[in-house]
């Protein structure tokens, strides 16, 4: 276990100078939007960033055939051999003291090759949410993620009758020969008018030439399973930054209460001058202005700019108690804060109106791949979107080869033209048992994101697989992504294309992409490509520090974990084949001292508990139940 940290800037840059010959290939390790990608094929492998693959698949592409519906392979673990001969990396010979964590120290002298079960020093058997070590390091309580904070089965509050889209008066055609959009929208509207209902798709192929929009709570779209009930979306032209199926609340705030005292991380209480207008059950956001002082404090002057001088939400919460007996008034929240809120930055609580609740999308197949060139002419088209929702879900969904994709050549057999699922401005959402693959547009501009989340709290992605996106799983755009858990996910074949005519593909990582994603967890997951949490600098309109206080727990697979987080980040328990890089060596690590905490590398199989989220959830529920 390594617990000491070198924080002297001179020391860090001395390591860079010493290792300069080993780092020359890193100029090829950042893509068009600044993410870590593989080094070119004519350079040696550098710090574990795999070489590009030719367009022609090789042994490493030994995944199920492209015409296989993703639902038919819930889990994929491809051959980890490479179709590009792997040359020894110059960094392989560098000692851990000089370069941080390498496979050479993955079995660590502190654990040797012992199969004995072990606990993290930061998560002992008697852990409680206030556990902190002598140097101030701690793990957040991630147990609140998911539908109803992980405490209830999905959809326990369903309302209304089943409305079958093929029945009268809707009359959707289930053969793919006619546009079913109007029929589906009519069924959705009917369910909304009745206060909720299940819009049901019998087995068949439903061609959707337009967009379906759900703007009422308690409306669920459900099929007989993704291999049986399939939605084929055909629209593309002029649809950039839009989704085919959108559940959208009408979010607005009608009350703002400035904090009268700074609020610390891990607290559930905030103080305001007058909380008389608040009530238990109110939806609220807590945040502050991205002030010059806040930006400077994080070393992001000149880098962060997209949200400067604007109020940004850092936490989506629900009020569980209001105390007016003393001054100032005390407001209790359902979930602890993840990051400090300071009066210096005009921190405040805003009451939110208009969130949808208890909406769902389940048992359906989705596809929208189109002509190859057309797919590249638009940006950020998603299949399904949850926007402004709480206590909602997506489950048992899979992509399938689109009937609109080319029959041969580039893009043939593709499932999606760009994005898959996006969750934004949401809280307490679960995406479960969902499998997406094969995006056509994996270029810059926000494309090829199969599972995307923005500005949301307590989102759970559980038992999901992603193959063949640009960034298969991604946090993106804006502050306030906190308490998100990726549990038992599998990510493989993330690839970056520089243009539609590119002959080579580079590795694209799942990653934290923008603006200080805070206190999130990647848990018990398999990475064939990798996960990145770094300072992305000026890329993506000044993404800068993309991550802080995030945990990667029990990570398996041949991919790379690149953790260079602002303040502290944590990598705890990995498989022997998983490569971990934390050294303060590169531009992507500037300002991220101290070097992130690593523990039990190569020993993840013996880590207890195997799932941090599930153990924390069990502990919380036991505490709440009492003796």
Mean pLDDT comparison of 5-14, 208-217, 498-507, highest-scoring range: 208-217
Residue 1 pLDDT > 70, yes or no? Answer: no
* Nearest 10 degrees: Cα torsion 31, 32, 35, 40: 0
Q: How far is CA 392 from CA 227, 290, 415, 460, 563, in A?
A: 23, 30, 25, 11, 31
Q: Where are the chain's structural domains? A: 147-250+356-518, 252-353
Considering only 17-21, 323-327, 554-558, 589-593, which range has the smallest mean pLDDT?
Answer: 17-21
| pLDDT digits 0-9 by tens, 364-394 | 999 999 999 999 999 999 999 999 999 999 9
Query: According to CATH, what is the number of the domain 252-353?
Result: 2.40.30
User: What confidence score (pLDDT) does residue 40 get?
Assistant: 29
pLDDT band, residue 565 (cuts 50/70/90): very high
Residue 19 pLDDT > 50, yes or no? Answer: no
Contact (CB, 8 A) for 520 and 482: yes
User: What confidence score (pLDDT) does residue 114 get?
Assistant: 55
| pLDDT digits 0-9 by tens, 300-340 | 999 999 999 999 999 999 999 999 999 999 999 999 999 99
Task: Taking residues 350-358, report their average pLDDT.
Answer: 98
Task: Taking residues 458-481, report their average pLDDT.
Answer: 97
**Which residue has better confidence, 115 or 572?**
572
What would be the CATH architecture of the domain defined by 147-250+356-518?
3 Solenoid (2.160)
User: What is the pLDDT of the chain when averaged over all its residues?
Assistant: 85
Please state, in angstroms and rounded to a whole number, the distance separating the CA atoms of residues 521 and 525.
10
Please state, in angstroms and rounded to a whole number, the distance separating the CA atoms of residues 223 and 363.
5
Contact (CB, 8 A) for 2 and 109: no
Residue 35 pLDDT > 80, yes or no? Answer: no
Please state, in angstroms and rounded to a whole number, the distance separating the CA atoms of residues 378 and 400.
21
Task: Taking residues 552-574, report their average pLDDT.
Answer: 98
pLDDT band, residue 586 (cuts 50/70/90): confident
Please state, in angstroms and rounded to a whole number, the distance separating the CA atoms of residues 113 and 111.
6
Residues 464, 233, 457, 572, CA torsion sign: positive
pLDDT band, residue 606 (cuts 50/70/90): very high
- Helix then strand then coil, in percent of the chain rounded to 5, is 15, 35, 50
pLDDT band, residue 62 (cuts 50/70/90): very low
| pLDDT digits 0-9 by tens, 129-163 | 999 999 999 999 999 999 999 999 999 888 999 99
Please state, in angstroms and rounded to a whole number, the distance separating the CA atoms of residues 40 and 506.
8
pLDDT band, residue 278 (cuts 50/70/90): very high
């Amino acid at each position: 276990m390594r617990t000491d940290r070198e924080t002297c800037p001179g020391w860090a840059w001395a390591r860079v100078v010493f290792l300069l010959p080993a780092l020359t290939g890193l100029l090829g390790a950042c893509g068009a939007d600044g993410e870590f990608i593989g080094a070119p094929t004519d350079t040696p492998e550098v710090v574990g960033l795999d070489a590009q693959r030719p367009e022609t698949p090789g042994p490493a592409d030994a995944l199920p055939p492209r015409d296989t519906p993703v639902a038919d392979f819930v889990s994929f673990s491809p051959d980890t051999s490479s179709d590009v001969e792997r040359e020894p990396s110059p960094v392989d010979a560098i000692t851990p003291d000089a370069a941080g964590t390498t496979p050479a120290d993955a079995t660590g002298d502190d654990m040797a090759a012992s199969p004995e079960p072990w606990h993290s020093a930061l998560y002992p058997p008697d852990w409680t949410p206030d556990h902190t070590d002598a140097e101030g390091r701690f793990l957040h309580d991630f147990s609140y993620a998911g539908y109803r904070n992980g405490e209830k089965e999905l959809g326990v509050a369903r309302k209304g009758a089943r409305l079958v889209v093929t029945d009268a008066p809707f009359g959707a055609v289930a053969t793919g020969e006619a546009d079913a959009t109007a029929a589906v929208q009519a069924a959705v509207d009917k369910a909304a008018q009745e206060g909720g209902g299940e819009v049901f798709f019998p087995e068949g192929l439903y061609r959707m030439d337009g967009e379906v929009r759900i703007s009422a709570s308690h409306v669920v779209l459900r099929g007989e399973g993704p291999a049986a009930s399939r939605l084929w979306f055909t629209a593309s032209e002029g649809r950039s930054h839009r989704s085919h199926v959108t559940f959208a609340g009408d979010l607005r705030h009608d009350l703002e209460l400035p904090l009268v005292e700074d609020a610390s991380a891990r607290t559930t209480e905030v103080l305001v001058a007058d909380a008389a207008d608040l009530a238990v059950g109110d939806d609220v956001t807590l945040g502050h202005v991205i002030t010059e002082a806040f930006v400077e404090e994080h070393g992001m002057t000149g880098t962060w700019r997209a949200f400067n001088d604007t109020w940004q939400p850092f936490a989506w919460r629900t009020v569980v108690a209001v105390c007016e007996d003393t001054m100032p008034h005390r407001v209790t929240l359902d979930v602890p804060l993840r990051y400090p809120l300071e009066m210096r930055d005009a921190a405040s609580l805003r009451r939110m109106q208009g969130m949808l609740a208890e909406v769902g999308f389940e048992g359906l197949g989705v596809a929208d791949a189109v002509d190859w060139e057309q797919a590249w002419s638009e940006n950020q088209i998603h299949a399904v979107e949850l926007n402004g929702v709480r206590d909602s879900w997506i489950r048992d969904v899979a992509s399938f080869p689109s009937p609109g994709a080319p029959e041969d050549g580039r893009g043939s057999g593709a499932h999606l033209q760009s994005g898959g699922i996006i969750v934004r401005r949401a809280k307490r959402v679960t995406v479960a048992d969902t499998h997406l693959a094969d995006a056509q547009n994996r270029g810059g501009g926000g494309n090829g994101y199969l599972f995307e989340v923005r500005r949301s709290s307590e989102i759970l992605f559980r038992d999901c697989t992603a193959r063949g996106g640009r960034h298969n799983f991604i946090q993106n755009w804006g502050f306030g992504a906190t308490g998100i858990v990726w549990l038992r996910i599998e990510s493989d074949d993330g690839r970056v294309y520089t243009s539609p005519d590119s002959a080579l593909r580079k590795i694209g990582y799942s990653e934290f992409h923008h603006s200080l994603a805070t206190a999130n967890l990647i848990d018990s997951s398999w990475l064939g490509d990798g996960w990145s949490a770094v300072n992305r600098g000026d890329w993506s309109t000044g993404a800068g520090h993309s991550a802080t206080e995030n945990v990667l727990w029990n990570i398996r697979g041949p991919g790379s974990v690149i953790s260079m987080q602002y303040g502290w980040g944590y990598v705890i328990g990995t498989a022997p084949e998983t490569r971990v890089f934390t050294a303060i060596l590169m531009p992507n690590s500037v300002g991220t001292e101290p070097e992130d905490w690593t523990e039990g590398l190569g020993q993840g199989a013996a880590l207890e508990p195997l799932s941090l989220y599930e153990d924390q959830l069990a502990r919380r529920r036991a505490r709440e139940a009492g003796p």
